[in-house]
Homo-oligomer: A and B are copies of this chain.
Amino acid sequence: MVGQRYVSILSNHPGFEVVAVAGSESVGKKYKDAVRSREALGFSREVGALEVCPTEPSAIDADLVFSPLPTEAAVEVEPAFAAQGFTVISDASPHRMDRDVPLIIPEVNPGHLRLLDAQMKRRRWKGCLTTTPNCTAVGLTMVMKPLHDALGITRVVVSTMQAVSGAGYPGVPSLDIIDNVVPYIKDEEEKVETEPLKMLGSVKGGRVVDEKIQISAMCHRVATTDGHLESAYIETSSRADPAEVKGILREFRGEPQELDLPSAPRDPIVVREEPDRPQVKLDRYSGSVPGMSVVVGRVRNGLTPNSIRLSFLSHNTIRGAAGSTILAAELMDKKGLLD
């Protein structure tokens, strides 16, 4: 799923050119014959004609490698490519929490990219590895970042309602989700509870030191195709006023906006005032770059003055995966990290 979306987005990218497509199962086939899309995702004629090559450093000649690998494969393959001199950007999970591997949302913690120098030295790699977070952690962290800067977040209790595309393909059997909600997604809550702390943390001595915030995540799978909805109860050090919170979220901008990167939405966070938004079906393609903005709504007082409640939606395979990773690559490119 995510790999196809990479190819689709990169097919018409102004700064990147797809020069190779790798995959163990379809080696030797043309990409257009190998792919069996579950979505109406297009790709250019040139990319369709590429022959799928093996997932090995020696088989590929490229400056940058996007790695939408399954977890087990990523464990070994990503370091192997980085060691051989490739700049690897991955949204696979195994190396996300390594202390010297940047876990990046370009609007949130672009400064963590300076870990790469230390990483290359310590690991004696010719290349480097950058990661992007879990699809559910992305929306949460983007909402937390400006609120934490302004009000100091002490605790988050979040409940998620996640789309089936988050599980890939074939993923969730239809018998498990039609007329159903499943209050469990394997290994998901751990990621949502820890990844934001790393991204909101600081770099010291070539390593990330986590921010100290308590996060409780309860994750649910629901019968939607794309778009993760999350509802959060947030406690803050300072008094949290709904009007002020909405202003803080609306004004949030990051380096991608300042640098006017191709995949950067004008507004990283869109705030809606209607009582019944965001809705998965209506809001998942929000943003000047469709699917790249997080949509926040239902901003309300919590039970105490130092708390706030809100719901937010992010497109899990765009902002939550391929889109964010390509945005990270654009940022690295602009900063000269791909040269």
Contacts and interface: CB of A to CB of B under 8 A. Distances in A.
B225 A297 contact: no
B282 A184 contact: no
Is the interface on chain A under 10, 10 to 19, 20 to 34, or 35 or more residues?
Answer: 35 or more
Interface stretch (A12-20, A106-114, A141-149, A170-178): A170-178
A71 interface: no
Contacts of A181: 161, 222, 224, 229, 279-280
A31 interface: no
Given A161-B161, A164-B178, A233 B218 contact: yes
Interface string A209-227: 0000011101010111100
Contacts of A173: 38, 169-174
A223 B175 CA distance: 9
A257 interface: no
B218 A184 contact: no
Interface string A281-314: 1110100000000000110001100000101000
A8 to B, nearest CB: 14
A205 interface: no
A231 B183 contact: yes
Instruction: Count identical subunits in the complex.
Output: 4
Contact of A40 (B170, B222, B282): B282
A275 interface: yes
Contact of A183 (B184, B220, B297): B297
Interface in A22-42: 37-40
Nearest to A286: B40
Listed residue (A161, A223, A283) with the most chain B CB atoms within 10 angstroms of its CB: A223
Contact of A218 (B40, B165, B309): B309
A174 B172 CA distance: 6
A182 interface: yes
Contact of A231 (B165, B220, B280): B220
A55 interface: no
A164 B159 contact: no
A275 B21 CA distance: 26
A72 interface: no
A282 B233 contact: no
A320 interface: no
Nearest to A36: B274
A333 B251 CA distance: 46
23 contacts: A38-B176, A39-B281, A40-B281, A40-B283, A169-B175, A171-B175, A172-B175, A173-B173, A174-B174, A175-B225, A177-B178, A178-B178, A178-B223, A178-B224, A179-B223, A180-B281, A183-B277, A183-B279, A184-B298, A216-B233, A218-B231, A218-B311, A222-B223
